Copies of this chain bind each other. A is one copy, B any other.
Amino acid sequence: MSLTVFILSDGTGITAETFAHSILSQFNLKFRLLRLPFIDSRIKAALAADRINQTALESERRPIVFTTLVDPVLNEMVKGARALVMDIFQTFVEPLEQELGIEASHAIGRGHWTADSEAYCQRIEAINFSLAHDDGQSDHNLEQAEVILIGVSRSGKTPTSLYLAMQYGVRTANYPLIPEDFERGALPGPLAAYKSKLFGLSIDAYRLSQIRAARRPGSRYAALENCRAEISAAQTLMERENIPYLCSTHKSIEEIATTVLQECKLEKVIY
């Protein structure tokens, strides 16, 4: 392991870490990613610089450092380290100051989700809502759902619901489509009143069979023929009821959630 990448932040550094990971994924190399969070004092900045220098001594390559420190004194301490130091916030803050004609606050920790803010409370409420309305376990307050995901068991509803709540503060319920629904040829009863909020997840039968078999090997539930029949019946039902749906097979939670937000026109845009 020759390349170490440091993420330095006065907050959690999670945004910078995800960003750095995306950029480094464009290179075909292995690297070690070390996030050094909460760097909010001279002593912590000095310790971080020491750690970077120590790593430089021990490695073939000098380390790469992504910093988002807003305190210029601390940032300068870090920039003196033996590394390629890239200041990922300041690089964009300066052109924005020019464009907007106002100065950046250089305040620490004004990230996406500051605790105690109204947006943060809404987000926690959304997580609680989505948990309480996972897998059709409760119809209580269902009118407060912003979107209701439907689909056969193990089509990806639960992780997508939790992600929409966690990342976007969107109150997301989800209901399974089960054989009784197909026999009746109708949506689960409580959903009839909320048709405009429904979005479906489908999945490839072979993949579904694999996922189910990992939970209940050898079961009828996991059998390929049964998966195929359930998926076909679910698609027939969604098409007849004009419910938009996507196939989740090769999509990440982020990709599914992005499509749901677009299709359901749920993007929250004003900050």
Contact = CB atoms under 8 A, between A and B. Distances in A.
B95 A26 contact: no
A52 to B, nearest CB: 15
A101 to B, nearest CB: 10
A16 B11 CA distance: 18
Interface in A13-46: 13-16, 18-19, 21-35, 37-38
Q: How many copies does the complex hold?
A: 2
Interface string A57-95: 000010010001010000000000000101011011101
Contacts of A93: 23, 26
A134 to B, nearest CB: 8
Interface stretch (A139-147, A185-193, A233-241, A248-256): A248-256
B271 A26 contact: no
A159 B111 contact: no
Q: How large is the interface on A (under 10, 10 to 19, 20 to 34, 35 or more residues)?
A: 35 or more
From A68, A106, A115, A127, residue with most partner B Cβ within 10 Å? A115
A201 interface: no
Contacts of A184: none
Given A22-B89, A26-B70, A37-B258, 4 more contacts: A1-B270, A35-B267, A61-B100, A84-B99
15 contacts: A12-B252, A21-B111, A22-B89, A22-B110, A23-B89, A26-B89, A26-B105, A28-B102, A31-B271, A64-B96, A64-B99, A115-B250, A115-B252, A162-B166, A166-B166
